[in-house]
Amino acid sequence: MSIQSINPASGEVLETFEVFSQAQIDEALSAAHGAFKSWRGTTFAERSALFQRLATYLRTHKTELGRIASLEMGKPITESEAEAEKCAWNCEYYAENAEHFLADEQIATNATESYVSYLPLGVVLALMPWNYPYWQVIRAAAPALMAGNTMVLKHASNVSRCALELERIFRESGFPEGVFRTVLVPGAETGALIADPRIAAVTLTGSEEAGVAVASTSGRHLKKHVLELGGSDAFIVLADADLDAAAQTAARARFQNNGQSCIAAKRFIVVESVAEAFEQKFAEAAAKLRLGDPLHYDTQVGPVARADLRDELDRQVQTSVKMGARVLIGGKPGEGKGAFYQPTILANVTTDMPVFREETFGPAAAVIRARDTEHAIELANSSQFGLGGNLWTRNIERGRTLARRLESGGTFINGMTASDPRLPFGGVKHSGYGRELSVFGIREFVNVQTVWIGPVVSAAPATPASE
C-alpha cells in the first residue's frame, strides 16, 4: 500500500511513499519508548541547547522547507517560509522558559516540606493536519519534549515529505535517536497507535469527526489527550469600529493560508448601520489579492490542498447562493489546472446557510448583518464551534465586557486572531479541549505530582466528619 503526495497547484504526483509495515511501526514506537527512559533524565539546559540548535536550522533552511510545504499543500511560499520562522520562535520560547514553567512549587502544609513536581508522561502521539505542516507539529513537540517526553508523529498523508523532513531535522539538530519519530500510516491505523501501551498520551489537531474518534479511543484506553479541532470564528464589527482597519484585517484574516486555518475569521457579523460600508471595503481589499502559483513570491492566495476540498467548499458556496446569499466577489473555482478557488465573499447570509452553520475551509467569507450589538453577540455564539474570534470597537472597555460573553477560547479586540507561544491556544464546545502553548500547553502532558515530607510540624485543618 502506498501514499501519494500531489501538488494541488497542478494535480501532478510529487512523490509516492510506501506505508510503514507493522515491523516499521513497532520499531518506531520501541525507539521512542526506549529513548524516553534516558531523555527524561536529561537536564533542561541540555534540552534547551538542542532546541536552540533546531531553531537555527529552521531559520537557515526556511527557503527549502518552505518550498516543500508549498508544493505539498499549496500555501504561498512567503507564508511557508514565515511558518518555518514561527517554528523557530516557538523552539526558542520553550528553550528559554520550560525550566521556569516546570520548576517545583513549594506549598506550605503541615509537613516538614511539601511541593508539586511536573514530571513527563512518556511517548506522546501527535496526530497532525496538513494546513500548517511544520507549525502544528513544532507547536506540540517543543513543549512536550522540553518537558521530558518523546514524540511519535502521524502526519496527514498528503504532507508525507514534510513529515519525514521533520524527523530528519530533529536528528540533524542532534536530538538522540528515538526522541522524535515519524510513521507513515493511513488514518485507519490511528486507533491501533493510540491503543499501543507504549503511547502515554495523544495530541490531535484536526476535524471535529477526527476529534470524536480520537477522544473515544483515548478514553477507552485511559490516555490523556488534547484536542484542537475546527472553528468557525466570528469577526464582529460594531457600529463604532474603525472600518478601514477592520476591512483590511478581515481580508488577511480570512484569506491567509488560502483560507485553510482553524482560527481564520469565517463569519463576519456586522452591525446593520455600517454593514454596507464594511462590505464594500472588505470586497475591495479581497479583490486585490493575487491568486496564483504558490511558488511565486507575489502570490497571496494559492490552491486549496486537495480537489475534493475545493469541491466541498464550492458546494457550501453554491448551496448558500441558492438560498439567497449574494456574491460580492468570486463565488466559483479558478480556471485551468489545480485545486484553485477564487477569493469569495458572500453577503445577505442567514443562519441556516451552510457558510454560516458549517466550517468553511477555504477562501470563502460569509457576511451576516446584525441588528445591534446584542444581536451580534447572539449570532457569534450560535455556533457549535468556539475556537477564536474578533471584536472591532473603539470602546475598549465595552470590548472587554463583550469578550467575556463570547463562547470562544480566545478573543482578539481590534486585531487578527493568531497563535502566539506566549498565550494559551485552544477552544471550547466542538472546537475541542485542552490548551497548547504558553505555560498551560507545557503542563498538559506532565504528571502533576504531590510530594509530602514528614514529620508533621503543625496541625492540619480539621477533617469534616463526613470525610
| Per-residue exposure over 147-166, b if at least 16 CB sit within 10 Å of its own CB, e if not | bbbbbbbbbbbbbbbbbbbb
Q: Give me the catalytic one of 81, 91, 262, 279.
A: 262
For residue 329, count CB atoms less than 10 angstroms from its CB and return exposed for 0-12, middle for 13-18, buried for 19 or more: middle
Rounded Cα–Cα distance for residues 76 and 296 (Å): 7
- Grid cell for residue 98: 520550560
Tell me the domains of the chain and their CATH numbers.
2-229+431-451 (3.40.605.10), 233-413 (3.40.309.10)
Residue 304 Cα distances to 291, 314, 320, angstroms: 11, 12, 20
Return the C-alpha cell found at 421: 507561544
All three cell numbers of 342, joined, read 477564487
How much is the pLDDT for 1? 86
> Which bin fits 258, alpha (ψ -120 to 50), beta or left (φ > 0)?
left
262 as an active site residue: the answer is yes
Smallest CA-to-CA distance from 75 within 127, 135, 17, 15 is with: 135
DSSP alpha helix (H) spans, 227-306: 243-255, 272-287
**pTM attached to this predicted model:** 0.96
Q: Which of 79, 81, 167, 228 is catalytic?
A: 228
> pLDDT tens, 406-424?
999 999 999 999 999 999 9
- For the chain (467 residues), the mean pLDDT of every run of 10, in chain order, is 96 98 98 98 98 98 98 98 98 98 97 98 98 98 98 98 98 98 95 98 97 98 98 98 98 98 98 98 98 98 98 98 98 95 98 98 98 98 97 98 98 97 98 98 98 89 56
Cis bond upstream, residue 120 (ω within 30) = no
Give the pLDDT confidence score for residue 459 in this predicted structure. Answer: 72
Is-contact 448 457, C-beta < 8 A? Answer: no
Identify whether 378 is a catalytic site residue. no
Neighbours of 314 (CB within 10 A): 17
